[in-house]
Chain A
Amino acid sequence: MDEFKVLQVKKSVFADNDRRAEALRQTLKKHRVFLLNLMSSPGAGKTTLLSRTIETLGNQLKIGVMEADIDSDVDARTIESFGAKVIQLHTGGMCHLDADMTRQGLEALGTDDLELAILENVGNLVCPAEFDTGAVKNAMILSVPEGDDKPLKYPLMFSVCDLVLINLFDVLPYFDFDMKKCVTNIRLRNPKAKIIPVCARTGEGIDLWCDWLCSEISAWRGQ
């Protein structure tokens, strides 16, 4: 039998996925489908925010949603009840979606008649940040009860996001959440991120979030 040899590889674990993500972005560009990747910790308000978003933008944009829960279709049914096209992605216990799973999800969703596709990523602040999904923009929700120091603890997540929504703003009086400190902490990780406080429950700030989304979509279309 052959002797053991040492192969120099020097290959990034994330490189294959990065390549696939870039290819997916190109394809979506050709089909003029804007893909947004929405991330957060579990329960920060992704589904509630998306429901509000469909309410607000549903009659001006054709929206489709991919729900990536590990093992349930509760969120998908909620989104469906708001009248958007939706599919449930089965992540098979995975804690994030990569570009390939996203591509398969988009195929299953069907993008022919879509202008905006939103991916509700799996609720966690670690892996989704490592894997480029092929989205045009990344957004995340930080909810007030999670604390203003989250950007320090999960630097990568905050550095890959173009937008940070601070949700559950209605409960601010009950938590020692310092908005100023939070903004400073986000800025340290990402000087360019846009920050919008929202309350997905009452709808406060949703107009600002929808404005951001619409202007990103038209800027991207014009490129």
Chain B
Amino acid sequence: MHELGILNALVHIIEGIVRDENLTEVEKIVIEVGELSGVVPRYIEECYPAAVYKTFMEKTALELIVVPGIVKCRGCGLVFNAAANDLHCPGCSGQDLEILGGNDMIVSEIVCR
């Protein structure tokens, strides 16, 4: 259950926002998970109820958006989707890649009052 630790960090971040913005209720959170973040979206969904159990987020819905992992080949400069190409450059089949995006997990927005 490695994703549980990440979700605890997430709950703390939302907690901070609720405090800073004086919110009374968080109806939904929208989270972006990069394909190259090392975080497995399905596990996040499975662990979520356990992570928010008995917290102020118990009734908060979770919406996950998977962000494609975009890389640039250091060999030929081609920019492509890493997962779709199995981490191989479709131009030169090189595997020395620079990550351009999709390696983070971000709290995108929260629906609240």
Using a CB–CB distance below 8 Å, which chain A residues touch chain B? 1-14, 16-17, 94-96, 98, 124, 126-127, 129-131, 152, 154-157, 188, 191
- The answer to whether A127 touches B106, judged by C-beta atoms less than 8 angstroms apart, is no
B112 partner residues in chain A, CB cutoff 8 A: 4-5, 7
Assuming A1-B113, A5-B113, is B106 touching A10 (CB within 8 A)? Answer: yes
Interface of A is mostly: mixed
A131 partner residues in chain B, CB cutoff 8 A: 5, 9
In the complex, what distance in Å separates the CA atom of A96 from the CA atom of B104? 18
Q: How many whole Å from A139's CB to the nearest CB in chain B?
A: 18
Q: Contact partner of B104 among A4, A14, A152, CB < 8 A?
A: A14
- The answer to whether B5 touches A7, judged by C-beta atoms less than 8 angstroms apart, is no
- The answer to whether A6 touches B9, judged by C-beta atoms less than 8 angstroms apart, is no
Complex A-B, nearest 6 residue pairs according to Cβ-Cβ distance, in ascending order: A156-B38, A126-B2, A2-B113, A127-B2, A13-B105, A9-B107
Q: How many whole Å from A184's CB to the nearest CB in chain B?
A: 9
- The answer to whether B109 touches A127, judged by C-beta atoms less than 8 angstroms apart, is no
- Within B62-113, the residues touching A (CB, 8 Å) are 87, 95-96, 104-113
Q: How many whole Å from A37's CB to the nearest CB in chain B?
A: 15
Q: Contact partner of A14 among B16, B25, B31, B105, CB < 8 A?
A: B105
Using a CB–CB distance below 8 Å, which chain B residues touch chain A? 1-6, 8-10, 12-13, 16-17, 21, 24-25, 27, 31, 36-39, 87, 95-96, 104-113
Q: How many whole Å from A206's CB to the nearest CB in chain B?
A: 30
A154 partner residues in chain B, CB cutoff 8 A: 38
In the complex, what distance in Å separates the CA atom of A129 from the CA atom of B16? 24
- The answer to whether B38 touches A155, judged by C-beta atoms less than 8 angstroms apart, is yes
Assuming A2-B113, A4-B111, A9-B17, is B38 touching A16 (CB within 8 A)? Answer: no
B24 partner residues in chain A, CB cutoff 8 A: 2
- The answer to whether B105 touches A9, judged by C-beta atoms less than 8 angstroms apart, is no
- The answer to whether A16 touches B13, judged by C-beta atoms less than 8 angstroms apart, is yes
B2 partner residues in chain A, CB cutoff 8 A: 95-96, 124, 126-127
Instruction: Known pairs A5-B111, A96-B5, A98-B9; list 5 more (Cβ under 8 Å).
Output: A11-B17, A13-B105, A127-B5, A130-B38, A188-B87
A-B contact pairs, 13 of them (CB 8 A): A4-B112, A12-B104, A12-B107, A13-B6, A13-B9, A13-B10, A13-B105, A13-B106, A95-B2, A96-B5, A124-B2, A127-B6, A131-B5
